[in-house]
Amino acid sequence: MPGQVPGLGGWLGVQLGENPEGVVVLQVVAETPAELAGFRDGDLVVRFNGREVRDLSLMDWISLTTPGTAVEVVVERDGEQLILVPVIGDRAEL
């Protein structure tokens, strides 16, 4: 993943991809901060900690977030916007 060094920085536990609508969650990994916060496969990520999500630079934002930080993520699911609050995990613990 761009901007990520193995064992360093924050992580959520999702595989992300792009589609014409924006950044979509392709897969949520079991027993990760993303699963605990309620992310689901197919969620469209709209905002990350107040920043509009337009592309996969979201992966860099996650990686640069201090582990242990609670962040607000707005996702669109089934036509509704939901606010999820995951606590960023520590890549060093993977």
pLDDT at 44: 98
- Whole-model pTM? 0.88
Q: What is the mean pLDDT of residues 30-35?
A: 96
pLDDT tens column, 41-88: 999 999 999 999 999 999 999 999 999 999 999 999 999 999 999 999
Q: Which fold has domain 10-89?
A: Pdz3 Domain (2.30.42)
pLDDT-based confidence at residue 20 (cuts at 50, 70, 90)? very high
pLDDT band at residue 29 using 50, 70 and 90 as cut-offs: very high
Q: Is 82 exposed, middle or buried (0-12, 13-18, 19+ CB in 10 A)?
A: middle
